[in-house]
Structure 1
Amino acid sequence: MSTHLDKFSSIASLLTAGLVFCIALSSSLTATSERPNIIIIMADDLGFDDVSFRGSNNFLTPNIDALAYSGVILNNLYAAPMCTPSRAALLTGKYPINTGMQHYVIVNDQPWSLPLNETTMAEVFRGNGYRTSLLGKWHLGMSQRNFTPTQRGFDRHLGYLGAYVDYYSQTYEQTNKGYNGHDFRDNLKATHEQVGQYVTDVLTDAAVQEIEDQGSKNNSQPLFLLLSHLAPHAANDDSPMQAPEDELAQFGYIRNETHRYYAAMVSRMDKSVGKVIDALARQEMLQNSIVLFLSDNGGPTQGQHSTTASNYPLRGQKNSPWEGGLRSSAAIWSTEFERLGSVWKQQIYIGDLLPTLAAAAGISPDPALHLDGLNLWSALKYGYESVEREIVHVIDEDVAEPHLSYTRGKWKVISGTTSGGIYDGWLGRRETSEEDPRSGDYEDLIRNTSVWQQLQLVSAGERNISELRDQARIECPEPATGIKPCLPLQAPCLFDIEADPCEQSNLYEEYRNTTIYLDLWQRIQQFAKEAHPPNNKPSDPDCNPRFYHDEWTWWQDEQASSSGTTGRMKIVTFFLGFVLTSRWFL
C-alpha cells in the first residue's frame, strides 16, 4: 500500500513540478513577448534647426514632425560634439573621457577602436533576448575584424564601417593620403549589390525588411534596431552634396545650390522615418515599440564637410563646445508615455539612453559596467523634469587645442575652443524669403502624413501642433544680465544655460570667486584627472584599399594572414605610382 502511495506522491510531485515549470515558461515567454521593440533612427550631422518642428519653414520635415508632435519632443538632449565620441557614448552609456574616445574621430586609416573591454548597448539587449541590428554607419573601429559591429553585439550589420561614403558608389576617399576604396558590407562580407542606389533608400529598405521579417517570422523575440543614416552628412570632397533628382526638384525655391541639395538630403531621410513607422504599423508592432529619432551631434554650417546645416539660434556648430555642437533635435514615441504630445525640458545625455531604454525593457544593466548614464525612464514616462543632470560634454586635453565643456543643472562652463574659435559664433541664419511652399498649410500637412495617422490609431489624443511648435522653438532675447562676451581662449566662461541657451552672457567675472563656480571647476578637474587616456593612434599606410581589392577592410588581420602577398602588392603599388608620377617612360 505504501508503495502505491509513494508512486502516487511521486507522480503528483512531478505533475506539480511540471505545472510550475509550464507556468514559469509561459510567464517567461509572455515577459519576452511584451518587451518593447526599440527602434533608434539616428541622423548624421543634422543641424538643431533642420527639423521643422523647431519652427523653421525653410524646408519641412513632416514625418519627423508628426513623430515629434505625437510623442515627446526632447528639448534638451545632449550628444557629444562629433561622430565617434557620440556613438561611443550612445553604445556604452559612458562619457567618452571614460572610454578613451574623447579626441576627434576615428579616421579610416587609423588602427584604433572602441575598447574591446567595453560592453555595448547591443550586447546588453542581445544578452536579454533581443535580436539586434545595425543598419548604416559604425565609425567605432575597423582595423581589426573584432572591432566591427557583428563582433560587438549586433546580430546583423548592413552598412559601412568608416566615417562616411559616397551616396551612390559607397566608396570613401581619403584625399590627403590618396586612399580610395569601397566600404559597404552585409555582416562581414563586402557587398556591391547596392552600388548605384541611393544609400538612404538602401538603408530604409533594409530597415523595412528587418521589421517585416520580425513581424512575420520572429515576433516572440523583441527587436533592437539602430538605423544609423549617412544623411545628411557630406559625401567625398569631389561630390559632397548628393540627392535623387525627384527629391531635389521639390526645393527649386532655394537659390543656393549646396543648401538646395542639403534640403533634399534631409527630406529623403524624413521620408525614411515615414516608411519605418508604416512598416511597424503594417506588422502591428507599433503598440509595443519605442521609436526614437535623434542626431549624433550638431550640424557643420561652415568648414570641413560643411553642408549649410543650421543650429541657429544656438551658438557654434559640430566639433565645438557650444550648444550648437552639442544639442540634438530629438523626439521619442511610446504608448507607455503619460504625456504624449508634450515638450520635455529635462536635460538628458546620449549616454542616458542605454540605461533608460534598458529600464523600459525591464533590463537592469550589470552595476559592474559603471555607467555614467542615468536611468531616466520614470521621469520620461511620467513627464517630470526635476532631475539635476551633470554632463561632461567634452574634456579634450590635446596639446594643440585643449578645450572643455561641462554642465551641471543650469550652469555651463566652457574653457578653450576648437579651430581657433572661427566657428564660435551664431551660424546658419536662414534666408527668410525662402520658405517651403507647403508651409502655408503646415498643420494639414502634418495631419495628412501616414506617421500622424498611424500613431493616432494606437495613441489617440488631441495635439495642439502650433502650441507644441512654439514650445520647441528656441528664442534668444537679450539676457537680463546683458550681452557679456566670452573669449574662451583667454579665460573660462560661465553661462546660465536655462536663462541664456544661446550663450550670450558670460558670467565668469561675477562668479569666478564664488562657491558656485569653484565647485564646478573642482569637479571638472576631478574628471580630467581620472580620464582614460585617448585611444587615438597615428595613421597606418598598410590600410590602403589598393592592397585589399580596393576594399576598406580590417587590414591588420589581413596582414597577419597574408603578409607575403600584401608585401608584394605594396611593392607593385609603389612601383606603379613611381612610374605614373615620374618623367621617365619605359
Structure 2
Amino acid sequence: MLRSRATMKRLLLILSTLAIAHASFAAQPNIILIMADDFGYECVTSNGGESYQTPNLDKLAATGVRFENCHVQPLCTPTRVQLMTGRYNVRNYLNFGTLLRTETTFGHLIKSAGYATGICGKWQLGHEVDSPQHFGFEESCLWQQTRRPPRYANPGLEYNGAEKDFTHGEYGPTLVNDFALSFITKNKEKPFFLYYPMILTHSPYQPTPDSPDWDPTISSENKQQSPKHFAEMTAYMDKMVGRVIAKLDELGIRDNTLLIFLGDNGTGAGTPSRFKGTDYKGGKGSTTANGTHVPLIASWPAVMKQGRVCADLISSTDFLPTICNAAGAKVPENVDGVSFLPQLKGEAGTPREWLYSWYSPRQTQDMTVREYAFDHRYKLYRSGKFYDLRSDSAERQDIAASVTGEAAAAKEKLQAALDRFKDARPTELDREFEASGKGKEKKGKKEKKKGKE
C-alpha cells in the first residue's frame, strides 16, 4: 500500500509538471511578422483601396484587427532599424543600409525567451556574412545580404550567409516563401518567431510567374518594367501571405499563431492608385502620410474571436515591445515603443497621444533631417511648420502663424513631444557618419541609378 501511494505521488508529480510545461508552451504563441516592401495603406482593399486584389489580407482583417493609423519611416532602412530595435532613429540610425552591431533586436529578445528564430526576405542592414545570426536569427534566407544580385526572376539569395544563384526561371519571392514554409514546418512542435520582410512589392515593376507576359529567362532588373505590373506584384504578394496561412492551417497551429502584416513605407513615389473614390499617389521618401501611412493587420484566432478596427496611433517602434510581451520576453528599458498587445486582445491599452519621427535617409553625405510629431489631426515640424492633416493631408498650407483654440493646444502638446528629443541624438553617431562617409557620395549615386530601396 505504501509503495502504491508513493508511486501515485510520483505519477501526480509528473503529470503536474507536464501540465505546467504545456500551459507555459500554450501561453507562448508562434509569431510571424510579415512586412511588405513599398506597400502603402491605400493598396489594401479592406482599407478602402480600389486598384488591387488582396483577398488574403482582407480575410485576415475580417477575422483579426485592422489598424487605421499605423505610421512608419518614409524609407525602408530607417523603418527596419526602428522595427527591429524599438528605438527612434534619432538614437541609433547611422546611415542607409546599416544596423549598428551594438544594437539589441527583437531577434535577440525572443530567442532568449526560448523561441526558434528565423528571418527571410530583404535584408539591407549590413554585408557581414554573420549578420542575421549576430542579430538573433538562427536561420536565414535573404536577398541583398552580402551582395546585390537580381531579386525577382533568376535571383541571387543567401542561405545562412552562403550565396546561391538561380538560373532556371526561379522567382525570388517564391523561393523566400518556400523557406518560410519550411521553417514553420520544421518548428511546428515548439514556439517560433519568423520575421518575413518581403521582397515584393518594390520596384522594378516586373511580371510575376502569374503574369501573362512572365519570361523565366529574364536575369536583369532593367527589363520588362511597367507600372501595370505593380497590380500583379501586389496580387502575388497577397498570394504568398495566403500560402503562409494555409501552411499554418495544414499543420494545425493557426489558432495559437500571432500573425502581423504591415508595410515598410509608402508605395513607390508616384505610383497611381484609387483609394476611397479618389486618386492617390504613392509617396515613398516623403514625410507626408503618402510616405508613412501603411497597412497594419493582425490575426491571432485563439485571442481574436471576431474582426475589429482600431484607430489608435501605432509607430514602427511599437512592434518590438508588442511581440516581446506576447512571447513573454523582457522588454529593454531603453526602447521608445509602446506595446499594442492589449489592443490585439480587445482591451483599451495605452493609446499614444502622438507619434514622433526623426528622419534622415543618409544614402549619401546629405545629413538633412526632418523631425516632426503629429496626432490624429495636427502635425508639427521642428522647423515650426504646422499643418491640419484633416483638411490638408498633403501639407501644402502652413498654419503655424494663425492657430487658436484646439489647434493651439495641439501645437503646444506636439511641441512638448519634440522637446523631449531635443538632445536625444548621440553626437558620436554623426561624427562616425561623417568619418565613414568618404566615397559614399559616389556609391550613393551608383545606387540611385539602380533604384532607391
TM-score, reference length from structure 2? 0.81
Go from structure 1 to structure 2 and tell me whether the alpha carbon gap of 1:377 and 1:232 turns closer, same or farther (over 3 Å shift).
same
2:414: which partner in 1? 520
User: Is the 1:247–1:268 contact (alpha carbons within 8 Å) kept by the matching residues of 2?
Assistant: no
1:152: which partner in 2? 135
User: Is the 1:92–1:354 contact (alpha carbons within 8 Å) kept by the matching residues of 2?
Assistant: yes
Go from structure 1 to structure 2 and tell me whether the alpha carbon gap of 1:211 and 1:310 turns closer, same or farther (over 3 Å shift).
farther
Q: 1: CA distance between counterparts of 2:401 and 2:305?
A: 41
State how 1:425-440 maps to structure 2 within 5 Å: none
Report the residue type matching 1:91 in the other structure: M
1:391 correspondence with 2:355: yes
State how 1:477-556 maps to structure 2 within 5 Å: 492-495=385-388, 497=389, 501=393, 503=395, 506-511=398-403, 514=408, 516-532=410-426, 533-534=429-430, 536=433, 537-538=436-437
Q: Could you tell me which of 324, 342, 355 is aligned with 1:358?
A: 324
1:407 correspondence with 2:374: yes
Q: Could you tell me which of 15, 28, 31 is aligned with 1:38?
A: 31
Report the residue type matching 1:120 in the other structure: T
Partner SS state of residue 373, structure 1: coil
Greater percentage in strand: 2
Q: 1: CA distance between counterparts of 2:401 and 2:281?
A: 21
Go from structure 1 to structure 2 and tell me whether the alpha carbon gap of 1:213 and 1:525 turns closer, same or farther (over 3 Å shift).
same
1:554: which partner in 2? none
CA shift, 1:241, in A, is 2.5
User: Is the 2:372–2:418 contact (alpha carbons within 8 Å) kept by the matching residues of 1?
Assistant: no
2:65: which partner in 1? 72
CA shift, 1:354, in A, is 1.1
CA shift, 1:353, in A, is 1.0
CA shift, 1:278, in A, is 0.4
User: Is the 2:273–2:279 contact (alpha carbons within 8 Å) kept by the matching residues of 1?
Assistant: no
User: Is the 1:232–1:266 contact (alpha carbons within 8 Å) kept by the matching residues of 2?
Assistant: yes
Q: 1: CA distance between counterparts of 2:16 and 2:321?
A: 29
CA shift, 1:20, in A, is 6.1
CA shift, 1:159, in A, is 1.4
Q: 2: CA distance between counterparts of 1:164 and 1:381?
A: 42
Go from structure 1 to structure 2 and tell me whether the alpha carbon gap of 1:371 and 1:310 turns closer, same or farther (over 3 Å shift).
farther
Partner SS state of residue 125, structure 1: helix
User: Is the 1:344–1:385 contact (alpha carbons within 8 Å) kept by the matching residues of 2?
Assistant: no
Partner SS state of residue 177, structure 2: helix
Q: Deviations over 1:199-219 (max 9, x none)?
A: 11111112122222223xxx0
State how 1:24-63 maps to structure 2 within 5 Å: 24=17, 26-63=19-56
CA shift, 1:415, in A, is 5.5
Q: 2: CA distance between counterparts of 1:514 and 1:243?
A: 50
CA shift, 1:168, in A, is 2.1
Go from structure 1 to structure 2 and tell me whether the alpha carbon gap of 1:286 and 1:292 turns closer, same or farther (over 3 Å shift).
same
1:259: which partner in 2? 227
Q: Could you tell me which of 185, 193, 197 is aligned with 2:170?
A: 197
Q: Could you tell me which of 200, 209, 215 is aligned with 1:231?
A: 200
Q: Could you tell me which of 226, 234, 246 is aligned with 2:210?
A: 246
1:334: which partner in 2? 300
Q: Deviations over 1:353-410 (max 9, x none)?
A: 111122122333243xx11001221133115376233322224498663322322464
Q: How many residues align?
A: 416
Provide structure 1 residue ranges, at least 5 long, that are not aligned to the other structure: 1-7, 107-112, 171-182, 235-239, 251-255, 417-490, 545-586
Report the residue type matching 2:254 in the other structure: L
Q: 1: CA distance between counterparts of 2:377 and 2:36?
A: 27
User: Is the 1:413–1:492 contact (alpha carbons within 8 Å) kept by the matching residues of 2?
Assistant: yes
Q: 1: CA distance between counterparts of 2:332 and 2:15?
A: 28
Go from structure 1 to structure 2 and tell me whether the alpha carbon gap of 1:194 and 1:205 turns closer, same or farther (over 3 Å shift).
farther
Partner SS state of residue 346, structure 1: strand
2:448: which partner in 1? none
Q: Could you tell me which of 73, 80, 84 is aligned with 1:87?
A: 80
User: Is the 1:315–1:503 contact (alpha carbons within 8 Å) kept by the matching residues of 2?
Assistant: no
2:241: which partner in 1? 273
Provide structure 2 residue ranges, at least 5 long, that are not aligned to the other structure: 215-223, 444-453
Go from structure 1 to structure 2 and tell me whether the alpha carbon gap of 1:82 and 1:376 turns closer, same or farther (over 3 Å shift).
same
2:101: which partner in 1? 116
Q: Deviations over 1:225-258 (max 9, x none)?
A: 1122111112xxxxx33223532469xxxxx972
TM-score, reference length from structure 1? 0.63
Go from structure 1 to structure 2 and tell me whether the alpha carbon gap of 1:35 and 1:195 turns closer, same or farther (over 3 Å shift).
farther
Q: 1: CA distance between counterparts of 2:316 and 2:138?
A: 23
CA shift, 1:528, in A, is 3.6
Go from structure 1 to structure 2 and tell me whether the alpha carbon gap of 1:246 and 1:300 turns closer, same or farther (over 3 Å shift).
closer
CA shift, 1:335, in A, is 2.1
Q: 2: CA distance between counterparts of 1:515 and 1:230?
A: 42
Partner SS state of residue 226, structure 2: helix
Q: 1: CA distance between counterparts of 2:73 and 2:47?
A: 21
User: Is the 1:48–1:327 contact (alpha carbons within 8 Å) kept by the matching residues of 2?
Assistant: yes
Q: 2: CA distance between counterparts of 1:380 and 1:33?
A: 17
Q: 1: CA distance between counterparts of 2:410 and 2:51?
A: 41
CA shift, 1:96, in A, is 1.2
Q: 2: CA distance between counterparts of 1:540 and 1:30?
A: 55
Q: Greater Rg, structure 1 or structure 2?
A: 1
1:376 correspondence with 2:350: no
User: Is the 2:378–2:386 contact (alpha carbons within 8 Å) kept by the matching residues of 1?
Assistant: no
Go from structure 1 to structure 2 and tell me whether the alpha carbon gap of 1:261 and 1:100 turns closer, same or farther (over 3 Å shift).
same
User: Is the 2:78–2:361 contact (alpha carbons within 8 Å) kept by the matching residues of 1?
Assistant: no
**Deviation larger for 398-407 or 36-45:** 398-407
Q: 2: CA distance between counterparts of 1:521 and 1:55?
A: 32
Q: 2: CA distance between counterparts of 1:501 and 1:385?
A: 27
